A and B are shown apart, each in its own frame.
Chain A
Amino acid sequence: MTDISQEPVHSSNQTAPEKSRSYWSDVWRQFRSHKGAMMGAVVFFGILLLVIVGPLIYHVDPTYIDIRSRNQGPSLAHPFGTDQLGRDILARMMAGGQVSMAVGITAMLISLILGTAIGVLAGYFKRLDGWLMRLTDLFLALPLLPLLLVIILLFRDPLNRAFGPEGGIFILMVTAIGITSWMQAARIVRGDVLALKEREFVLAARSIGTTPLLMILRHVLPNVLSPIMVSATLGVANAIITESALSFLGLGFPPDFPTWGRLLFDGVDYLQQYPERVIFPGVAISLTVLSVNYMGDGLRDALDPRIRGR
C-alpha cells in the first residue's frame, strides 16, 4: 500500500462535481464488471420488487383466514398453499418480506454505523480506546433478553404515541437489534485500525498535516471496508432472525403480523407434514443474505483502489 495507490480515493473526496461523478462512475463500472455482484443486485432488487409490488398485483389479504381451505398444498388459488388457519402463504411471504427486509437492512445499517464509528474512534484515538472498549465489554456482557424487556418497557408507549403503533414498534425493533449487535463490528474495525494507523502511508499522510477527520475518511475507512462488508452480510441475517425471536417473545410486532423469521419459526413444527412452509421463508432469507453478500463483495472490490486500478 502506498500513497500513490490511495490517490484515486483521495481525489474522489474533493467536492468538484465532475471528478466526483467520474469516481462514482468508476466504482459503478467496476461493480458492473463483477458478475457475482450483478447477480446479487438483480436477485436482491428482484426480491425487493416482489415484496413491494407483489401485493399490489396479488390482492390477497395475508391475515384473512379461510378456515375451510387450511393446510392446502400449492394450487392455482393459493400458489404457495395455505397455513394451518387457511391464510394464503404467498401473501404472507410478501407481507412478511416487506417487514423482514426493512428490519434486516435498517437494523444492520444502525449496528454497522454504530460499530464502525466506535471501532474507528477507539482504534484511532488512544485516549478513547480504553473507555470505548470497556463500553463494548459492557454491552457484550449484558444479558440480551432482560435488556430488550427493559427497552420495550421504557420506550414502547412513548414511541407508540409519537409514531403510531406500527411505526413505533418498527423503530423500537430496529434500534433494539441495532444497539445490541454493534459490538463485534466495533472490535473488528478497531483491531484493523490499530494495525493500519502504524502503516507507512498513514504516517506519511500524517506527516503532511492531514487532519484526523480527513485521515479517517480517506485512508482508514477504505482500508477496513472488507470486514465491514462481511459484518453487513452477517448482520442482515442476524437481524431477520432476531426480529422473529423478539416477535415470538411478544416484544415485537403483533402476533398476526407475518415476517419471514416468524413464518420459519411457526413452520418448524410442521416440518414433516408440510415441508414447504419452512422451505419458502428459509429460501427467502438465505437468498436475501446471499445477494447482500455478493453485493458486498462487489462493492468492496469496486471501492478498493488497488483492484479498481487494474
Chain B
Amino acid sequence: MKLKSALLGAACAMVLAPAAFAERGSDGEVRIIYWQAPSILNPYLSGGTKDIESASLVIEPLGRYDPTGALVPYLAAEIPTVENGGVSADLTSITWKLKEGLLWSDGTPVTSADVKFTADYCMHPEGGCAQGAKFDGVSSVDVIDDLTVKVTFDAPKPNPYGPFMGGQSPIIQAAQFAECLGARAPECTEANFNPIGTGPFSVTEFRPNDVITMEANPNYRDPAKPAFATLTFKGGGDAAAAGRSVLETGEFDYAWNLQLAPDVLAGMAAAGRGTAVSAFGSLVERIEMNLTDPSPSLPEGERSTVAHPHPFLSDINVRKALSMAIDRELLVEIGYGQAGRPTCNLVPAPALYASDNTECLTQDIEGAKAMLEAAGYVDSNGDGVREKDGVELRVLYQTSTNAVRQDFQALIKQWWEEIGVATELRNIDASVYFGGDPGSPDTFQKFYADVEMYANNFDGTDPQSYLAAYRCGNEPKPSSQWQGENINRFCDPEYDALLDELAQTGELSKRGEIARKLNDMLTKDSYTILPLVDRGRVSAHSNSLGGVQLNTWDSELWNAADWYRID
C-alpha cells in the first residue's frame, strides 16, 4: 500500500512537472462548454452570467475575488486599502495604480485613461449599462497620471470596491469603444463581439448564441501563459448534455454549472473521464413569505399590496410552523448533493457576515402542529386543513420551472399538508417569472401567491445592498410598475434604522455584527424568509485539464490563464 501511494505521488509529480516549465501555447486546444450560449462579450450591455464569464477570458478588471472571497490585484499593482493609503481615511475616494507595462492584445499600452473611459461608458445616461449599480455613488473618476486613477464618491463608501472590481466591471479599451457611448452602444457590433482586452485570450471568431473561438493573447502580461494556444467556447443545450460531454465522452474539457440531480451527476462521473468540482458562494435557495394578501377576490391593484395584510401568513406562528415542517438536510440530499448544504441564513458567507443560527435544521413536524394548535389553528371540520376564524390555511406555492425546484415543491407540499396546511403548487416559465413585465400576473415581484421559492445572491463579498432590499417602501407595488426588491413586503422601522447604521460603518467587525443582526431579523426572528439551501456551484473538468480552481465570488474562468494540460 505504501509503495502504491508513493508511486502515485511520483506519478502526480511527473504529471504536474511539465506545467511549471510550460510556455505559451504549448498545450494546444482547450474546449469549454456552457449550456447557456453567450450573446455578447460586453458585460456592460448584458448582465447575463454566460456573457460576463465568457468575456472574462478576454477583458479583465483591476482586481478580482479569489475562491476564498479575498481581493487579488489583476491589472492593478495592488488592492488599495485604508492601510496602504489607497482608500482615503474618510472612505470617500479610492486610488488605483495600474501595473507597469500592460499591453492590450493589439499591442497598445493600457493607461488610466482607459479606466476612466470605462466609467464614462457605463455611467452614460443613455447607455442602459447593466452594471450601473457598480458605479452607484461615484461622483467623479479622475486620471492622476498614466497609471493612476482616482474614484471619488459622493458619500463615504465602506465598500469602495464597486467599480473596476470583479468580472462584472472589466476595463475596456478607450480607443475601441470611443464611438460607442450612450445610445450608440448597439451600433458597435464589432467591438461588442470582439473586444480588445488584456486577458489571456483574444477572440478570433464570435458567433452569437453559439460558439466562440479564441487564441492566446500574444501580449498577455505573463509570457509563459496561457498554456493553451486556442480555446473553443461552445454554448447551448442543457446541463445534462454538457455534463455528458465532459464526464462521459470527453469531447470537452470544462462544463459550467451542472445543476443536475446528484445521482445523475454521480452516474456520469463514474465513467472516470472527468471530475465534478463544487464551491460555495452566497447563493441561497429560499422560500419567501407574502406578508400581504394575494387573494384574487381583491380588486386589481390592491392584490399583494401593503393595504391588505395576509390573512394568516402575517402571523409569525404560522410562518414558524411552516419553517419547522421542512427537513432541509433531506432537500439538499435530493436536490443538490455535494453542491448544497442546508442553511438557516440569508447571508451564508463570507464568514464575517454569516450568522451562526442552525436551529431550523432539525425538522419538527410535531412541534409545528403543536404551535399551530396553540395559536388557535385547528381542523374543526375534519378536512385535513386547519382553520381559524373561518380562514383555512390554504397556500399557493409558486416557483420557476426547474426539475429540482419541482421536486422541492412536491416534498414541501407533503410536509405542509402533514401539519394541516393545504398547498397548491404552480410552476412558471423562468422567462416570465423572473421578467418584470407589469402586465403579467406571474412575475415573482407581483407575487400573486402566498409563498414562492427562488434563489438569489449578491455580487462581490459585501451584503449591504442585498440586505437593503428589505427596506420599508422598497416593495413592488402598482405605483412603481411592480418593480422593487422587497419581495415579502417586509416592514420594520428597527430594521431600517440598522440598515442606516450599516451604511455609516466602516469598521469590518462592526459591519459583520450589524449584517448578522439584519440577517437574523429576516430569518430566525421573524421567519419572513425561510432559507433552505446554501447552493454551491458544480462544474466539471476533464481529468486532463489542470489548474482549475472553482470560484463563486467572481467569474468561474477567472484563472483560465493558469490552466494547463495534464498529459
> Does A touch B (CB under 8 Å) in the complex?
yes
CA distance A85 to B414 in the complex (A): 11
Q: Is A242 an interface residue (CB 8 A)?
A: no
A269-B260, A272-B267 as given contacts; A157 in contact with B406, CB under 8 Å: no
Which residues 224-272 in A have Cβ within 8 Å of B in the complex?
248-251, 254-256, 266, 268-270, 272
Residues of A near B400 (CB, < 8 A) are 250
If A255-B401, A255-B409, A270-B264 are given as contacts, then 8 extra A-B residue pairs at C-beta distance below 8 Å, sorted by A number, are: A65-B410, A65-B414, A153-B441, A248-B401, A250-B429, A254-B425, A255-B427, A256-B406
CB distance from B294 to the nearest CB of A (A): 13
From A84, A153, A157, A273, give the contact of B334 (CB < 8 A).
A84
Residues of A near B240 (CB, < 8 A) are 268-269
- Closest 10 interchain pairs by CB? A255-B406, A250-B427, A250-B428, A255-B427, A249-B429, A254-B425, A250-B401, A256-B410, A250-B429, A273-B267
How does the 8 Å CB contact mask read for A141-176 relative to B, with 1 for contact and 0 for none? 000000001000100010000000100000000000
CA distance A17 to B392 in the complex (A): 57
How does the 8 Å CB contact mask read for B41-73 relative to A, with 1 for contact and 0 for none? 000000000000000000000000000000000
CA distance A165 to B424 in the complex (A): 10
Q: Is A180 an interface residue (CB 8 A)?
A: no
Contact between chains at B406 and A273 (CB < 8 Å): no
Q: Is B426 an interface residue (CB 8 A)?
A: yes
Residues of A near B409 (CB, < 8 A) are 255-256
How would you classify the secondary structure of chain A's contact residues: helix, strand, loop or mixed?
Answer: loop
CA distance A249 to B432 in the complex (A): 10
Residues of A near B99 (CB, < 8 A) are none
Q: Is B222 an interface residue (CB 8 A)?
A: no
Q: Is B178 an interface residue (CB 8 A)?
A: no
Show 24 residue pairs from A and B whose CB-CB distance is below 8 angstroms, ordered by the A residue: A65-B410, A67-B411, A70-B334, A85-B334, A85-B407, A149-B429, A153-B440, A157-B296, A157-B441, A249-B401, A250-B426, A250-B427, A250-B429, A250-B442, A254-B426, A254-B427, A255-B406, A256-B410, A266-B403, A269-B261, A270-B261, A270-B263, A273-B263, A273-B264
- Name the residue on A nearest B244 (C-beta): A272
Q: Is A71 an interface residue (CB 8 A)?
A: yes
CA distance A255 to B432 in the complex (A): 16
CA distance A270 to B244 in the complex (A): 12
Max count, chain A CB within 10 A of own CB: residue among B400, B425, B440: B425
Residues of A near B264 (CB, < 8 A) are 269-270, 273
Contact between chains at A256 and B440 (CB < 8 Å): no
Q: Is B471 an interface residue (CB 8 A)?
A: no
From B411, B426, B439, give the contact of A65 (CB < 8 A).
B411
Residues of B near A87 (CB, < 8 A) are 410
CB distance from A65 to the nearest CB of B (A): 5
CB distance from B459 to the nearest CB of A (A): 28
Residues of B near A70 (CB, < 8 A) are 334
Q: Is A125 an interface residue (CB 8 A)?
A: no
Q: Is A64 an interface residue (CB 8 A)?
A: yes
Q: Is B31 an interface residue (CB 8 A)?
A: no
- Name the residue on B nearest A266 (C-beta): B403
CB distance from A145 to the nearest CB of B (A): 9
CA distance A85 to B406 in the complex (A): 11
Residues of B near A249 (CB, < 8 A) are 401, 429
The number of chain A residues with a CB under 8 A from chain B is 26
A254-B425, A256-B425, A269-B403 as given contacts; A63 in contact with B260, CB under 8 Å: no
Contact between chains at B424 and A254 (CB < 8 Å): yes
From A84, A153, A272, give the contact of B407 (CB < 8 A).
A84
CA distance A273 to B409 in the complex (A): 24
Q: Is B388 an interface residue (CB 8 A)?
A: no
Residues of B near A256 (CB, < 8 A) are 406, 409-410, 413, 425
A67-B334, A153-B441, A256-B410 as given contacts; A84 in contact with B428, CB under 8 Å: no
CB distance from A206 to the nearest CB of B (A): 52
CB distance from B267 to the nearest CB of A (A): 5
Which residues 403-455 in B have Cβ within 8 Å of A in the complex?
403, 406-407, 409-411, 413-414, 424-429, 432-433, 439-442
Contact between chains at A84 and B261 (CB < 8 Å): yes
- Name the residue on A nearest B267 (C-beta): A273
CA distance A248 to B402 in the complex (A): 9
- Name the residue on A nearest B327 (C-beta): A67
CA distance A251 to B406 in the complex (A): 14
Residues of A near B334 (CB, < 8 A) are 67, 70, 84-85
CA distance A200 to B44 in the complex (A): 71
CA distance A10 to B330 in the complex (A): 68
Residues of B near A250 (CB, < 8 A) are 400-401, 426-429, 432-433, 442
CB distance from B545 to the nearest CB of A (A): 24
Residues of A near B427 (CB, < 8 A) are 250, 254-255
- Name the residue on A nearest B333 (C-beta): A67
Which residues 81-116 in A have Cβ within 8 Å of B in the complex?
84-85, 87
Contact between chains at A63 and B441 (CB < 8 Å): no
From A84, A153, A268, give the contact of B263 (CB < 8 A).
A84
Contact between chains at A67 and B330 (CB < 8 Å): yes
Residues of A near B296 (CB, < 8 A) are 157
CA distance A157 to B442 in the complex (A): 12
How does the 8 Å CB contact mask read for B497-541 relative to A, with 1 for contact and 0 for none? 000000000000000000000000000000000000000000000
CA distance A71 to B413 in the complex (A): 20
Residues of A near B413 (CB, < 8 A) are 256
CB distance from A275 to the nearest CB of B (A): 12
Residues of B near A248 (CB, < 8 A) are 401
- Name the residue on A nearest B248 (C-beta): A272
Contact between chains at A251 and B441 (CB < 8 Å): no
CB distance from B219 to the nearest CB of A (A): 44
Residues of B near A64 (CB, < 8 A) are 414
Residues of B near A272 (CB, < 8 A) are 267
Residues of B near A157 (CB, < 8 A) are 296, 441
Residues of B near A270 (CB, < 8 A) are 261, 263-264
Which residues 233-253 in B have Cβ within 8 Å of A in the complex?
240
Max count, chain A CB within 10 A of own CB: residue among B330, B406, B428: B406
Residues of B near A165 (CB, < 8 A) are 424
CA distance A65 to B409 in the complex (A): 11
- Name the residue on A nearest B406 (C-beta): A255
- Name the residue on B nearest A66 (C-beta): B414
Residues of A near B426 (CB, < 8 A) are 250, 254-255
